[in-house]
Structures are given as C-alpha cells and as structure tokens.
A and B are shown apart, each in its own frame.
Chain A
Amino acid sequence: MSKVRVLVGTRKGAFVLTSDAKRKSWEVSGPHFTGWEIYHLKGSPADPNRIYASQTSGWFGQVIQVSHDGGKSWEAPGGGIKMIPGGMPQGESNRFVYDTSPETGKPLTTHQWYDGTQHPWEFKRVWHLEPSPGDPETVYAGVEDAAIFRSTDGAKTWQELSGLRGHGTGPKWQPGAGGMCLHTIVIDPKNPKRMYIAISAAGAFRTDDGGATWKPINHGLRSEYIPDPKAEIGHCVHRIAMHPSRPDTLFMQKHWDVMRSDNAGDLWREVSGNLPTDFGFVIDVHAHEPETIYVVPIKSDSEHFPLEGKLRVYRSRTGGNEWEALTKGLPQENCYVNVLRDAMSVDTCDPCGVYFGTTGGQVYASADAGDNWAPIVRDLPAVLSVEAQVLP
C-alpha cells in the first residue's frame, strides 16, 4: 500500500507527517532544524527520498538542507567537516549571489523601495524550492529579494536565472509587507522549458526557454492599490496553481481577487464569484478534477484571519465563480488564524487528499476532497508551508 507524506515548514522547525493511503492515522517526526525558520521543503517528484529544505534565520542567514532518505537524515551539500584546510571550495550550497556580470547582470542594480526610492537588491532568504519533475539533481529556488536561482548538482551550487530581473521592469518592482519575495514556481510538466513564477509585489512572469528570458503575464489583473490598476507590473500575486493535465490553465489568488487564465497567463479573468471575500493566500487544484479548486478566504487588509472567526475552505467544482463552503471538522467559532501562501497542498490518492496549515500551528487534512476535515496536529509552531506527496 502506498504512503502519504506531508512535509510541514514552520517558524521553528520542520515536521514530517506520514500515513498510509487511508490517511486516518499519522506519525509525526520532528522538529527538524529546531529553532530555525523553515520556509519550505519539498520532495523531488522523480525521487521522493530526495527532499530539499530552506532553513533560514535572521541571525545566521540561509542554509539549504537536503535529505536522501525521505527526511530521516539531512545534510548541507558540501558543508561537512573539512579536516584539511585549503583545496576545493565547499559549502557553496548556502551561497545565493545575484548575477552582476557585465554580460547579463550589469543593469540589475536596484528595485523600488517602500518609499519610492531605488534600493539595491539584497539577498535575504529562500521562500520556495521547486524540484524538477524529472531530475532529482535539479531544483529551483525563489528568493527574497525577488529572483530565481537554479541548481543542477543537488543544491551544491546555485546560479541565478538573471533574465527574470533583466527583462526591464526590475527597477519598478517593490516589496509587499512581507518583503519582495519570489514565492511561487510552477513548472509545466509537459514542457519543462515553460515555467511560471510570481512575486509580491511585481506580479506573474513566464519563461518559454527554460529561464533565459521572461515576460510579465499580468494582463487582465486589476489592483486598485497601485497607481495604475491595470499596470504591466506591480500586482501583489499571492499564489498560482496548475493542474498537470492542463498546463495552460492557471488559477491565481491575488492580494484581492481569485483569477484564472486559459492561455498560459496571457489573459486573466476574475472568478471570485460568490466568495465571501476574494482576499486570501492559498489556492490549489484537485488532483483528479482540473476544474475543482480550493481557496481559504481571509479578512483583510489588516486583520488576516477568517471571516467571522470561522475557518472555511471554499471549493469550486466549476473552475471558479461558484463556490461552496467546506466546514465539517473545521472550527466555526473563535478561530483567528491565517493560512499562508505555501501552506496548502493536495495528494494524488483517490479520493484526493487536501491539506493546509495555519499560523496557529494546526495542520488539517481531508481524505475526501474537502468534504470532511480533521487536524493531523494541533500545536505546531506557525505553519509556513505544507507539501503532500504520495510515496510508492
């Protein structure tokens, strides 16, 4: 029988939750990397034993950890003890250096700061790690200040795909309240040269040549909080999701508005429909029904907790516009947690499993596509990310 593994990144460490395919009884392993912020960890689709983790700290900066045994043990690639000084460089796995080369990096100097002045790019942390669908050694990192890096040697070394910052609008990008982060990386499973990324607050971008060049894909977005609501860039995109069978159809949770595109992001249309609020962070797609999508509406701008203290997942079986509240097993009073942008995931079991984590430390699971929910754990540190994967 297959197993399901849920990787949970929190403010104070990582946790690995495992169950059989019934998803009724769970084992909890952790905390790993105790005391560190684990923004994201994710297993390779090509080799589920390979897990990449972003371990970060305001004191000590960025560390990338890798497991080769499904999370039982971890190492910082190339970072082990070195008995003899000198020799080949090691410990490069933590090194994220922006491209400043004369050929490709020279114009990439500043972005817009909160006050409108220009500000130099400064690496802060890795928000999201996206392993390649086909190669366990290749992994992409979305970082703050916004840029995308790639490693092709199992996270030992990283190189920026500087065409993203270099396409011309970089000086207009600006940070959202959470920083100027590249938080979403979606790889087209049918065409690995096509990828989508999203930045708060610049918007969504697409590459069709494996990351060499990028173009903004924000036509159709409307953001009243920027001077030109229909600007080419400046939109605070919170999350993008795709069903692997329909890679040209994208779903987006924006700062406000739930959107969809059916032409690879060339044009977006709003599908917020009857949601009680169209603000939120997460969005995901059912593993077997490409038109079934999930969001968690959140009250904003400043509250960032569920409306009326009721934690409700909303599901649309029509690709948006018509939404139903899913509440069975979720707290329906006095609930004031948030669900952050990387904290929802689905598994590929049948029925589809849906998972999300909260800033209150709960990880909720539904083994029936959202009809019924139960907490796997209730009292973790604030959850930053959730990733589900079915293991053979």
Chain B
Amino acid sequence: MIRVAIPAHLRTLARVEGEVQLEVEGTVTIQSVLDALEARYPVLRGTIRDHVTKERRAFLRYFACQEDLSLEPPDTPLPEAVVSGKEPFLVIGAIAGG
C-alpha cells in the first residue's frame, strides 16, 4: 500500500482525512502514484498536474524520504521505503502569504 500525503486544501476537496493509501500496480513511479490518486479521487485531476500535459503545477513539489523529486522524470521509480509503505510520497504546496 502506497501512502500519499497531500495538502490540506486537496484533502478537503477529496473529502479525506490524513494520508491517502493507494494500491499501485506495476512499477511505483511518480506518475503511477499520481495516476492512481486521480483515478480514485477524480476531483483532484488538474489540481496537482495539468489536465493535458501532466506537468506539475508550479506551486507544488514532490518529496519522498527527504529528497526533492520534483524535477525527476515522471517515470522515475520511487524509493523502496515508499513502495513498502514505510515512508509516504509527499505532495507539498509552496508556503506563501495572501
């Protein structure tokens, strides 16, 4: 089971509390995790990645195991600790006022 942590506003939008747990088939990558997240919570489509290009939205970053994965190719395999569920895959919003 893959653990995914998303920002509070997206938890409200998806009507979930705490981390999301997902089954991901095949190789666990940034793309396959986000595909599974959006398949389970369709309202999140377009909120993390662009609907068409699948590019990450500018004010969001991806982290796992204290590493910034934001600029890694989408098909990059995630660390074993994420695959095993020991560590979550983090979607983090930029901290900003306003």
Contact = CB atoms under 8 A, between A and B. Distances in A.
Contacts, number: 71
B47 A63 contact: yes
Contact of B42 (A36, A59, A82): A82
Nearest to A35: B9
Given A59-B60, A59-B93, A60-B9, A95 B41 contact: no
B98 to A, nearest CB: 8
B57 A79 contact: no
A160 to B, nearest CB: 13
Interface residues of A, number: 26
Nearest to B39: A85
Contacts of B13: 60, 63, 76
Contact of A57 (B9, B39, B41, B42): B9
Interface in A65-90: 76, 78-83, 85-86, 89-90
A273 B82 CA distance: 68
B46 A95 contact: yes
Contacts of B45: 79, 91-92, 94-95
Interface string A298-341: 00000000000000000000000000000000000000000000
Contacts of B14: 81
A178 interface: no
Given A35-B9, A94-B51, A79 B39 contact: no
B47 A94 contact: yes
Contact of B39 (A34, A62, A82): A82
B79 interface: no
A83 B39 CA distance: 9
B43 A94 contact: yes
Nearest to B51: A95
Nearest to A87: B39
Contacts of B15: 81
A86 B94 CA distance: 31
B9 A79 contact: no
Given A91-B45, A95-B46, A97-B51, A59 B57 contact: yes
Contact of B57 (A61, A81, A82): A61
Interface string B27-44: 000000000101111111
A59 B9 CA distance: 10
Nearest to B40: A82
18 contacts: A35-B9, A59-B9, A59-B57, A59-B60, A59-B93, A60-B9, A61-B46, A61-B57, A62-B46, A63-B43, A82-B40, A82-B41, A82-B42, A85-B40, A89-B42, A90-B42, A94-B51, A97-B51
Interface of A: 34-36, 57-63, 76, 78-83, 85-86, 89-92, 94-95, 97
